Amino acid sequence: MKLTTKGRYAVMAMADLASFKDQGPVSLSDISLRQNISLPYLEQIFLKLKNNNLVKSVRGAKGGYKLELSPDEIKISNIISAVDEEVKMLNCKKDSKKGCNNKSSKCITHNLWDQLDQHINNFFEKVKLQDLVKKKQILNK
Amino acid sequence: MKLTTKGRYAVMAMADLASFKDQGPVSLSDISLRQNISLPYLEQIFLKLKNNNLVKSVRGAKGGYKLELSPDEIKISNIISAVDEEVKMLNCKKDSKKGCNNKSSKCITHNLWDQLDQHINNFFEKVKLQDLVKKKQILNK
DNA sequence: TTTAAATCATACTAAATTAGTAGGAATTGA
DNA sequence: TCAATTCCTACTAATTTAGTATGATTTAAA
Ligand code: FES
Ligand code: FES
């Protein structure tokens, strides 16, 4: 049960952006160096962040990305979902072959996974980007 | 961000065992049919459950498995860890090449993932097997 | 005593997902 | 003009997951 690099890198990159938000647009090559993430991979990630209106781009030389909102307006959940990192513990499907829902009704663990989904999503809703950049403070809930 | 089938099936199978705990040992082929899980796959899973003292086996014809403890003494976390389903959001590693910890100190998102790990593990600690078998009641936290 | 039903154990393999790379086109400040 | 940058899609390699396969061992019951 792990996060994919896409979700992880997206949050790292956004936190990086937040840290340098007063220095004009930040280029992906800068982020790539600081966070040790491959540049073309970052490009893919930022395409999605942009399409979800979390960042805006400045094209051309000396260009880069800036946050669309202030760090205290951006929830981790926004970032996670922007890059299609889904929290998906439930496994029920319509078609009988795959998924645990073979006999029309819900399986014995359905409610458990449903609650777990909510539990995790609540966490991502509660934490803001701002919470990450206040120099390494302990996240207070 | 998903659970693997190993963790999912382990919990389903344990809940099944708990449901039928008064009928002598339950065979894996019964569980296989009821929960729609491949028999040899279940065997692998139960090997681990047994090695972690969550179930005990009765060999030979008419054999099967029984719970080692009562359902209210078994936490979901026990089951999850027995089958090596790890909650592992952190990605820091010692070797410089892999993992996000390239510059000796912790990355900007380390605390976030650490808190998330705890958040999820708390959930698994709180819920008991018993909570699943009380006929489909809503889990109350 | 034979047989069938069951666990026990390990090795292998196919499918799916993840984590990137590759190869360019478009834009723009210097 | 040119270098630095974003933009965009397709492809591929690596890893992980989700099983199969194979066979041994045990034991209740016929
Ligand atoms: S998780 Fe929904 S039916 Fe099993
Ligand atoms: S998660 Fe630990 S250093 Fe990044």
- Is the pLDDT at B124 greater than 50? The verdict is yes
Q: What is the mean pLDDT of residues A10-39?
A: 96
Is B130 buried (19+), middle (13-18) or exposed (0-12) by CB count in 10 A?
middle
Is B31 buried (19+), middle (13-18) or exposed (0-12) by CB count in 10 A?
buried
Distance of alpha carbon B54 from alpha carbon B32, whole angstroms? 19
Distance of alpha carbon B73 from alpha carbon B67, whole angstroms? 10
What is the total count of domains within chain B? Answer: 1
Q: Are B124 and B77 in contact (CB under 8 A)?
A: yes
Residue B46 lies in a domain: yes
Window from A29-38, B10-19, B104-113 with minimum mean pLDDT: B104-113
Q: For residue range A82-137, list pLDDT tens digits in order.
A: 999 999 999 887 654 556 665 567 899 999 999 999 999 999 999 999 999 986 44
Residue A24 lies in a domain: yes
- Is the pLDDT at B2 greater than 70? The verdict is yes
Determine the length of chain A: 141
| Strand C bases with any atom < 7 A from protein Cβ | 4-11, 18-23, 26-30
Residue A115 lies in a domain: no
Residue A109 lies in a domain: no
CATH code assigned at A86: 1.10.10.10
The rounded percent of chain A whose pLDDT value lies above 70 is 87
Residue A101 lies in a domain: no
**The model's pTM:** 0.92
Say what the pLDDT of residue B98 is: 55
Distance of alpha carbon B25 from alpha carbon B66, whole angstroms? 5
B83 interfaces chain A, CB cutoff of 8 Å: no
Q: What letter represents residue B71's amino acid?
A: P
- Average pLDDT over chain A, rounded to an integer: 91
Residue B115 lies in a domain: no
Say what the pLDDT of residue B141 is: 40
Please report which confidence band the pLDDT of residue A141 belongs to, taking 50, 70 and 90 as the band edges: very low
Distance of alpha carbon B75 from alpha carbon B21, whole angstroms? 17
B15 interfaces chain A, CB cutoff of 8 Å: yes
Q: CB within 8 A of A64, min separation 6: which ones?
A: A24, A25, A26, A27, A28, A30, A57, A58
Helices A5-19 and A28-35 cross at an angle (nearest 10°) of: 110
Residue A53: domain span: 5-90+128-135
Say what the pLDDT of residue B102 is: 52
Point out the residue nearest to D28 (C-alpha to C1'): B61
Closest CA relative to residue A116, chosen from A84, A89, A94, A92? A89
Determine the length of chain B: 141
The alpha-carbon gap from B63 to the nearest alpha carbon of chain A, in Å, equals 24
Say what the pLDDT of residue B41 is: 98
The token pair that represents A77 in the structure block: 């959940």
Residue A111 lies in a domain: no
Which contacts of A34-37 are long-range, i.e. CB under 8 A and separated by 24 or more positions? A35/A9, A35/B100, A35/B107, A36/B100, A36/B102, A37/A9, A37/A12, A37/A13
B141: number of Cβ within 10 Å: 9
Residue B97 lies in a domain: no
Q: For residue range B41-78, list pLDDT tens digits in order.
A: 999 999 999 999 999 999 999 999 999 999 999 999 99
Contact B120 A76 (CB under 8 A): no
